[in-house]
A = this chain, B = another copy of it.
Protein backbone atom coordinates (compact mmCIF):
# COMPACT_ATOMS: atom_id res chain seq x y z
CA UNK A 1 0.00 0.00 0.00
CA UNK A 2 1.67 3.16 -1.24
CA UNK A 3 -0.49 5.66 0.64
CA UNK A 4 -2.69 5.14 3.61
CA UNK A 5 -5.20 7.82 2.61
CA UNK A 6 -6.35 10.23 -0.07
CA UNK A 7 -6.87 13.93 0.62
CA UNK A 8 -8.90 16.15 -1.69
CA UNK A 9 -6.62 19.19 -1.75
CA UNK A 10 -8.30 22.09 -3.54
CA UNK A 11 -5.57 24.61 -2.78
CA UNK A 12 -8.00 26.61 -0.63
CA UNK A 13 -7.58 27.38 3.03
CA UNK A 14 -9.59 24.50 4.52
CA UNK A 15 -8.04 21.55 2.72
CA UNK A 16 -4.55 23.02 3.08
CA UNK A 17 -4.91 23.31 6.85
CA UNK A 18 -6.38 19.80 6.86
CA UNK A 19 -3.22 18.52 5.13
CA UNK A 20 -0.97 20.02 7.82
CA UNK A 21 -3.37 18.70 10.50
CA UNK A 22 -3.10 15.16 9.06
CA UNK A 23 0.68 15.33 8.66
CA UNK A 24 1.00 16.25 12.34
CA UNK A 25 -1.05 13.16 13.19
CA UNK A 26 1.29 11.01 11.12
CA UNK A 27 -1.10 10.53 8.17
CA UNK A 28 0.78 11.16 4.92
CA UNK A 29 -1.91 11.24 2.24
CA UNK A 30 -1.81 11.22 -1.52
CA UNK A 31 -3.24 14.62 -2.45
CA UNK A 32 -5.74 14.78 -5.29
CA UNK A 33 -6.73 18.09 -6.88
CA UNK A 34 -9.58 18.41 -9.36
CA UNK A 35 -9.37 20.95 -12.16
CA UNK A 36 -13.09 20.99 -12.83
CA UNK A 37 -13.50 24.17 -14.85
CA UNK A 38 -13.56 26.51 -11.85
CA UNK A 39 -12.89 30.16 -12.68
CA UNK A 40 -10.53 30.34 -9.73
CA UNK A 41 -8.06 27.72 -10.91
CA UNK A 42 -5.31 29.71 -9.21
CA UNK A 43 -6.17 27.31 -6.39
CA UNK A 44 -4.73 24.44 -8.44
CA UNK A 45 -1.39 26.28 -8.61
CA UNK A 46 -1.56 26.75 -4.84
CA UNK A 47 -2.27 23.04 -4.34
CA UNK A 48 0.85 22.18 -6.35
CA UNK A 49 2.88 24.60 -4.24
CA UNK A 50 1.58 23.11 -0.99
CA UNK A 51 2.13 19.51 -2.07
CA UNK A 52 5.71 20.38 -3.06
CA UNK A 53 6.31 22.26 0.21
CA UNK A 54 5.09 19.23 2.19
CA UNK A 55 6.87 16.69 -0.07
CA UNK A 56 3.73 14.63 -0.58
CA UNK A 57 2.59 12.90 -3.77
CA UNK A 58 0.05 14.86 -5.76
CA UNK A 59 -2.29 14.18 -8.68
CA UNK A 60 -4.23 16.75 -10.63
CA UNK A 61 -7.31 15.25 -12.30
CA UNK A 62 -9.09 17.03 -15.16
CA UNK A 63 -12.86 16.84 -15.10
CA UNK A 64 -14.27 19.77 -17.11
CA UNK A 65 -17.62 20.23 -15.37
CA UNK A 66 -17.91 23.64 -17.07
CA UNK A 67 -18.64 21.79 -20.32
CA UNK A 68 -21.37 19.72 -18.61
CA UNK A 69 -23.15 22.09 -16.22
CA UNK A 70 -24.65 25.45 -17.12
CA UNK A 71 -26.15 26.65 -13.84
CA UNK A 72 -23.14 27.57 -11.70
CA UNK A 73 -21.47 30.97 -11.58
CA UNK A 74 -18.37 29.27 -10.16
CA UNK A 75 -17.60 27.64 -13.51
CA UNK A 76 -15.98 29.12 -16.59
CA UNK A 77 -18.62 30.42 -18.98
CA UNK A 78 -21.07 30.92 -16.09
CA UNK A 79 -22.63 34.25 -15.11
CA UNK A 80 -20.86 36.75 -12.84
CA UNK A 81 -19.92 35.63 -9.32
CA UNK A 82 -22.23 37.49 -6.92
CA UNK A 83 -20.81 39.73 -4.20
CA UNK A 84 -22.27 39.43 -0.72
CA UNK A 85 -22.14 37.54 2.55
CA UNK A 86 -21.30 33.86 2.23
CA UNK A 87 -24.53 32.81 3.96
CA UNK A 88 -26.80 34.91 1.69
CA UNK A 89 -29.24 33.12 -0.60
CA UNK A 90 -27.57 35.00 -3.48
CA UNK A 91 -24.55 32.73 -3.01
CA UNK A 92 -26.55 29.68 -4.15
CA UNK A 93 -25.54 30.48 -7.72
CA UNK A 94 -21.97 29.51 -6.80
CA UNK A 95 -23.00 25.93 -6.01
CA UNK A 96 -21.61 23.46 -8.56
CA UNK A 97 -24.30 20.76 -8.83
CA UNK A 98 -23.40 17.76 -6.65
CA UNK A 99 -19.74 18.77 -6.83
CA UNK A 100 -18.51 17.21 -3.64
CA UNK A 101 -20.08 13.82 -4.33
CA UNK A 102 -18.48 13.81 -7.78
CA UNK A 103 -15.08 14.64 -6.25
CA UNK A 104 -15.49 12.18 -3.37
CA UNK A 105 -16.63 9.36 -5.67
CA UNK A 106 -13.57 9.87 -7.88
CA UNK A 107 -11.25 10.12 -4.88
CA UNK A 108 -12.79 6.96 -3.38
CA UNK A 109 -12.16 5.26 -6.74
CA UNK A 110 -8.51 6.30 -6.52
CA UNK A 111 -8.41 4.98 -2.94
CA UNK A 112 -9.91 1.64 -4.06
CA UNK A 113 -7.49 1.50 -7.01
CA UNK A 114 -4.55 1.87 -4.62
CA UNK A 115 -5.85 -0.35 -1.86
CA UNK A 116 -6.45 2.25 0.78
CA UNK A 117 -9.64 3.05 2.62
CA UNK A 118 -9.85 6.68 3.74
CA UNK A 119 -10.73 9.80 1.78
CA UNK A 120 -10.39 13.12 3.60
CA UNK A 121 -11.93 16.44 2.61
CA UNK A 122 -12.14 19.85 4.22
CA UNK A 123 -15.89 20.37 4.74
CA UNK A 124 -16.63 22.65 7.71
CA UNK A 125 -19.62 24.06 9.56
CA UNK A 126 -19.45 27.63 8.23
CA UNK A 127 -20.18 26.39 4.68
CA UNK A 128 -23.33 24.52 5.69
CA UNK A 129 -25.72 27.41 5.09
CA UNK A 130 -25.36 27.36 1.31
CA UNK A 131 -23.61 24.12 0.37
CA UNK A 132 -25.66 20.98 1.05
CA UNK A 133 -22.62 18.84 0.25
CA UNK A 134 -20.80 20.12 3.34
CA UNK A 135 -23.49 19.07 5.82
CA UNK A 136 -23.12 16.15 8.26
CA UNK A 137 -26.06 14.23 6.72
CA UNK A 138 -24.37 14.44 3.33
CA UNK A 139 -20.99 13.40 4.71
CA UNK A 140 -22.53 10.32 6.37
CA UNK A 141 -24.46 9.38 3.22
CA UNK A 142 -21.47 9.90 0.92
CA UNK A 143 -19.34 7.75 3.19
CA UNK A 144 -21.94 4.97 3.18
CA UNK A 145 -22.17 5.09 -0.63
CA UNK A 146 -18.37 4.84 -1.00
CA UNK A 147 -18.22 2.02 1.55
CA UNK A 148 -20.94 0.02 -0.20
CA UNK A 149 -19.48 0.64 -3.66
CA UNK A 150 -15.93 -0.53 -2.96
CA UNK A 151 -14.22 -3.74 -1.90
CA UNK A 152 -11.98 -1.80 0.51
CA UNK A 153 -15.06 -0.16 2.05
CA UNK A 154 -13.59 3.29 1.51
CA UNK A 155 -14.80 5.84 4.07
CA UNK A 156 -15.21 9.60 3.75
CA UNK A 157 -13.67 11.55 6.62
CA UNK A 158 -14.23 15.23 7.29
CA UNK A 159 -12.49 16.02 10.59
CA UNK A 160 -13.43 19.72 10.38
CA UNK A 161 -17.13 19.12 9.77
CA UNK A 162 -18.11 20.65 13.12
CA UNK A 163 -15.41 23.35 13.10
CA UNK A 164 -16.02 26.94 12.07
CA UNK A 165 -13.75 28.59 9.52
CA UNK A 166 -12.37 30.63 12.43
CA UNK A 167 -11.36 27.37 14.16
CA UNK A 168 -9.58 26.32 10.95
CA UNK A 169 -7.66 29.60 10.78
CA UNK A 170 -6.56 29.16 14.40
CA UNK A 171 -5.48 25.58 13.67
CA UNK A 172 -3.55 26.76 10.60
CA UNK A 173 -1.75 29.39 12.64
CA UNK A 174 -0.88 26.84 15.31
CA UNK A 175 0.55 24.51 12.66
CA UNK A 176 2.50 27.28 10.92
CA UNK A 177 0.60 26.92 7.62
CA UNK A 178 1.86 29.49 5.08
CA UNK A 179 -1.51 31.11 4.33
CA UNK A 180 0.00 32.83 1.28
CA UNK A 181 0.03 29.38 -0.37
CA UNK A 182 -3.78 29.18 -0.27
CA UNK A 183 -6.39 30.76 -2.53
CA UNK A 184 -10.05 31.44 -1.78
CA UNK A 185 -11.46 34.15 -4.11
CA UNK A 186 -14.01 32.70 -6.55
CA UNK A 187 -13.48 35.35 -9.21
CA UNK A 188 -10.20 34.13 -10.62
CA UNK A 189 -8.60 37.56 -10.90
CA UNK A 190 -4.89 38.19 -10.25
CA UNK A 191 -5.59 39.21 -6.63
CA UNK A 192 -8.51 38.37 -4.27
CA UNK A 193 -11.50 40.65 -4.97
CA UNK A 194 -12.39 41.07 -1.31
CA UNK A 195 -16.13 41.21 -2.00
CA UNK A 196 -17.27 37.74 -3.13
CA UNK A 197 -18.79 35.33 -0.59
CA UNK A 198 -15.62 33.37 0.02
CA UNK A 199 -13.44 36.50 0.34
CA UNK A 200 -15.90 37.80 2.96
CA UNK A 201 -15.92 34.45 4.74
CA UNK A 202 -12.13 34.31 4.83
CA UNK A 203 -11.72 37.89 6.07
CA UNK A 204 -14.34 37.31 8.78
CA UNK A 205 -12.58 34.13 9.95
CA UNK A 206 -9.14 35.75 10.20
CA UNK A 207 -10.65 38.77 11.90
CA UNK A 208 -12.49 36.66 14.51
CA UNK A 209 -9.35 34.59 15.08
CA UNK A 210 -7.27 37.74 15.52
CA UNK A 211 -4.70 36.47 13.03
CA UNK A 212 -3.14 38.28 10.09
CA UNK A 213 -3.90 36.76 6.68
CA UNK A 214 -0.67 36.61 4.69
CA UNK A 215 -2.64 35.40 1.66
CA UNK A 216 -4.31 38.69 0.70
Chain A residues in the interface with B (C-beta under 8 A):
59, 61, 63, 65, 68-72, 92, 95-102, 104-106, 108-113, 132-133, 135, 137-138, 141-142, 144-151, 154
8 examples of A-B residue contacts, CB within 8 angstroms: A63-B63, A72-B113, A92-B151, A97-B108, A97-B110, A98-B154, A138-B145, A142-B148
- Contact in complex: B102, A106 (CB < 8 Å): yes
> Bound complex: CA of A109 vs CA of B154, how far in Å?
22
The oligomer's copy count stands at 2
Decide if A141 touches B148 in the complex (CB within 8 Å).
yes
With a CB–CB cut-off of 8 A, which chain B residues contact A105?
98, 101-102, 104-105
Taking the closest CB of chain B, its distance from the CB of A201, in whole angstroms, is 20
Question: Shortest distance in angstroms between A128's beta carbon and chain B's nearest beta carbon?
Answer: 12
Assess whether A113 is in contact with B71, with CB atoms less than 8 Å apart: yes
